[in-house]
Amino acid sequence: MGEDHSRLTESEIDAILLDEQVGYLALARDNQPYLIPLNFLYEKGSIYFHCALQGRKIDYIRANPRACFQTGEAGGLISGDSPCSHNYSYQSVIVEGVVEEVVDTTEKENILRLITAKYSTAQMAEGMISASRISATGVYRIIPSNISGKRDT
């Protein structure tokens, strides 16, 4: 059987997870789906995000910690000779797993600094984060059970 050229390699998947700025977290509760765009961090094989300690997202996670996360980049239109042969180029990574709260204060602070460095500057990430701010912020990780990537160019 020939190689499937649409599958991304592990290093290509890692590069996308490290570079992309926005991901989409899919949750479900009582047969009701919920999809949330969010900033994220890919660190040590897990997806991390921060949020308020209360809200719809947290209610869904507590009811059902299984999640699906997607990120990637859209390219452009791939023209064809007919409407059915048109396509759109993309690279996409999907992470399936379980969401768990990060409760250790030192780990939470470290993740918050890494998220700050990703979306701001290293200098900003080295600034003071008060203990009250750390305790008032929820930090969560998706522990992957499956990570896959695909492209069409």
Per-residue pLDDT reduced to its tens digit, 133-150: 999 999 999 999 999 999
Check: CB of residue 112 under 8 Å from CB of residue 134: yes
How many residues are recorded in the chain?
Answer: 153
Give the pairing of strands 23-29 and 46-51.
Answer: unpaired
Domain ranges of the chain: 10-76+86-152
Distance CA 139, CA 111 (A): 8
Alpha helices (H) in 1-153, listed in sequence order: 10-19, 56-63, 105-119, 122-125, 131-135
Q: What local confidence, expressed as pLDDT, does residue 82 receive? A: 74
Which residue ranges in the chain fall short of pLDDT 50?
A: 1-4
Here the tokens at position 36 are 């949330």
Q: What local confidence, expressed as pLDDT, does residue 2 receive? A: 39
Task: Look up the CATH architecture of domain 10-76+86-152.
Answer: Roll (2.30)
